[in-house]
Amino acid sequence: MPSSRLTQVRLGVTIHRHGLGPLLEFQAGGFLDEVAAPTALAAAATGLGVTGFSQGLARFLARRWPRLQLLVAAMASGALIRSIAPLLQDKYRDPAVVLLDGSGCRLIPLLGSHGRQGDRLATAMAAFRGGQVWRSGYSSGSGQLALDCFGSGLGWQRGPGDWDGLVKAFAQQKRMVVVQESGSASWRAAAAAARLQEAKDPLPPGETWLYVGHRSATGATAHWHPPVLWLGLGCERHTDQAVLEAVVEKSLASADLAAAAVAGVASLDRKGDEPGLLALCQQRKWPLKVFTAARLAAVPVPNGSLMVARQVGTPSVAEAAALAAAGGGAAGTGARLLAPKTVVHGERASGAATCAVALATNPWAPIRGGLDLVGSGPGALAQLTPAARSALAAAATWVGYGPYLDRLEPLRAPHQLRLDGILGKEQERCATALALACQGQRVALVSSGDSGIYGLAGLALACWLDLPDQERPDFAVHPGISALQMAAARLGGPLMNDFCVISLSDKLTPWATIQQRLHAAALGDFVVALYNPRSRERVWQLREARRILLTGRSTNTPVALCRQLARPEEHITLTSLGELESDMVDMLTLVLVGNSQTRCRGSWLMTPRGYAVGRTVESG
């Protein structure tokens, strides 16, 4: 899903009433910040928050154009083109423009497909509404890697170069090589990257090549810069911002480093309120990390100073802070100093500043990343919710248990990475997904069913909340169809009255607690859905659950054994609580136990709500 941290406006606009409904759906789904229409149409949509314009579409868009990140237009293509033609500048400054056709089901990226992520946004919106994207670009239409935009999904910044020449050479099937010095190389595993070859040293003259790393002038055709550089900054009190900017530029230039590869700024905690430093970070959109003097004093540096130690309690600020932010400054972290401290003195009492630059092993850009918890439903793609489809389409990487990802594989695009986890290693999966999101990626962490029902949402949220506020990427949970809901749909009406859900797995919950809950369910006469009823190691828990439930209901109580719901192997067996045996189920089975009023009619189960059949009642 689109990041909630975008500072530019995402606008939907229409000039006829047929386009208003789909645009409002996109706004409700979080894709648009605002929907606009002619004044009369906006007035007719009272209460929906539609912005009205009366001076014509072209004038309205001219006022908004500099602030637009995305424009979704529901209108005739000719009217749209004539309205925006005078506003166009270039492919990297104009907003992404997506046309919604008259049916409201097809989206056509017209501008900014690569440079402004138009293709990615259109794909996510189409998935949300169950529609299609019509693409005209070579890479997006053929499943090839879009060299001029793929890095944005990984949290990288595009650097200088002949991007048009690079893309054209790739489209013409010319030999293409890549040199990568820093940042995650996992993107090379994607099928769409298969044509890129590792560069040989030295490169032949005139070779077309792509550079991925932290240096600025490499001779490459074009550059991608992962956020791997940390600037350590120290300064006198009230040092001007201009002096800080000068020392940063000098320090980066001394080692031929790219400002686009800067992850953030680090300093001593007592500098955390320095006006010039805060202004620099705000202007450059660099996060600021601060450390105590004791923490910095523990970091080995090449250029410590006894005078600095006497003044602030640590022999180094700039070098130690850069190394601490880049990886802790301890042996084995991989952090290393690329540019030792550089000092710049300002004129006329404007202060002085010191800068050093360190290289981190892993990129760090949580403000660009996001973690989406996706419930993949019981198995069939048709059971995916629109929000789940949209989150999967927008993600750069999918993380999940292998068999769950296998069921979603038809939806994975060639450029999307897939990281398979192992059953029982849920904490590792969450840690991996969160680490990638902190690097700047949009990550889909997949659970079966619903992520919030025995899924990974709680564990992932706990890990996310453990991070400091400024280190948290976007976080969202997208619901899925749970096995309980799918069972209810197949059986007709078993959950028409109060029910509860209990897992019989005692790996994470003590069995004594599970027993208490079973007794409470029996006493309360709840319909009970039993998850994880049996495994190879746990063969007796279902028998004990049956014994407890029989203390509160008869042996004739209907029971449904629902196995592999919404999958080709789906099988539902109806039995009774008195005849239920452990060997009738496995871990892929949901056991649904009726209450004292649940009745079986053929293949249907129904628990009455209390309505009098045949007379009009108020629905619940």
Query: Is residue 618 a part of any domain in this protein?
Result: no
Query: Is residue 143 a part of any domain in this protein?
Result: no
Q: Which CATH number do you get for residue 437? A: 3.40.1010.10
Q: Which CATH number do you get for residue 340? A: 3.30.420.180
209 lies in the same domain as 250: no
Q: Mean pLDDT for the chain?
A: 89
The predicted structure's pLDDT at residue 150 = 85
Domain boundary among 84, 109, 136: 136
Least trusted range by pLDDT, from 119-133, 249-263, 365-379, 484-498: 119-133
Q: Which of 144, 234, 260 is nearest to 192 (CA)?
A: 144
Query: Is residue 144 a part of any domain in this protein?
Result: no
How do residues 83-121 score in pLDDT, each as one tens digit?
Answer: 999 999 887 789 999 999 887 789 999 998 877 778 888
CA distances from 458 to 475, 488, 546, 547 (A): 12, 25, 29, 31
Position 263 pLDDT exceeds 70: yes
Q: Which of 345, 329, 239 is nearest to 291 (CA)?
A: 329
273 lies in the same domain as 169: no
Q: How confident is the model at residue 1 (pLDDT cuts 50, 70, 90)?
A: very low
354 lies in the same domain as 238: yes
Q: Helix (H, G, I), strand (E, B), or coil: what is residue 416?
A: coil
Q: Say what percent of the chain tops pLDDT 90.
A: 66
Q: Determine the structural domain holding residue 513 and report its residue range.
A: 484-606
How do residues 186-197 score in pLDDT, each as one tens digit?
Answer: 888 776 676 777
171 lies in the same domain as 203: yes
340: left (phi over 0), alpha (psi -120 to 50) or beta: beta
Beta bridge partners of 605: 492, 600
Mean pLDDT of 67-93: 91
pLDDT higher at 172 or 183: 183
Position 612 pLDDT exceeds 70: no
Q: Which of 97, 199, 108, 92 is nearest to 149 (CA)?
A: 92
Domain boundary among 359, 383, 411: 359
185 lies in the same domain as 251: no
Burial (0-12, 13-18, 19+ Cβ within 10 Å), 12: buried
Query: Is residue 612 a part of any domain in this protein?
Result: no
Query: Is residue 426 a part of any domain in this protein?
Result: yes
Q: Say what percent of the chain tops pLDDT 70.
A: 94
Q: How confident is the model at residue 536 (pLDDT cuts 50, 70, 90)?
A: confident
How do residues 303-322 score in pLDDT, each as one tens digit?
Answer: 999 999 999 999 999 999 99
Position 349 pLDDT exceeds 70: yes
How do residues 410-456 score in pLDDT, each as one tens digit?
Answer: 989 888 899 998 878 899 999 999 999 999 999 999 999 999 999 99
Beta bridge partners of 399: 419, 445
- How many domains does the chain divide into? 5
The predicted structure's pLDDT at residue 2 = 45
Domain boundary among 104, 136, 168: 136
Residue-wise DSSP of 38-87? EHHHHHHTTTS-PEEE-S-HHHHHHHHGGGEEEEEEES-HHHHHHHHGGG
Query: Is residue 209 a part of any domain in this protein?
Result: yes
129 lies in the same domain as 161: no
Position 5 pLDDT exceeds 50: no
Query: Is residue 613 a part of any domain in this protein?
Result: no
Q: Which CATH number do you get for residue 535? A: 3.30.950.10
Q: What is the tally of helices (H) and strands (E) in the chain?
A: 19, 30
Position 215 pLDDT exceeds 90: yes
266 lies in the same domain as 335: yes
Q: Which of 143, 159, 156, 142 is nearest to 185 (CA)?
A: 156
Query: Is residue 326 a part of any domain in this protein?
Result: yes
475 lies in the same domain as 488: no
The predicted structure's pLDDT at residue 142 = 58
Least trusted range by pLDDT, from 3-17, 393-407, 533-547: 3-17
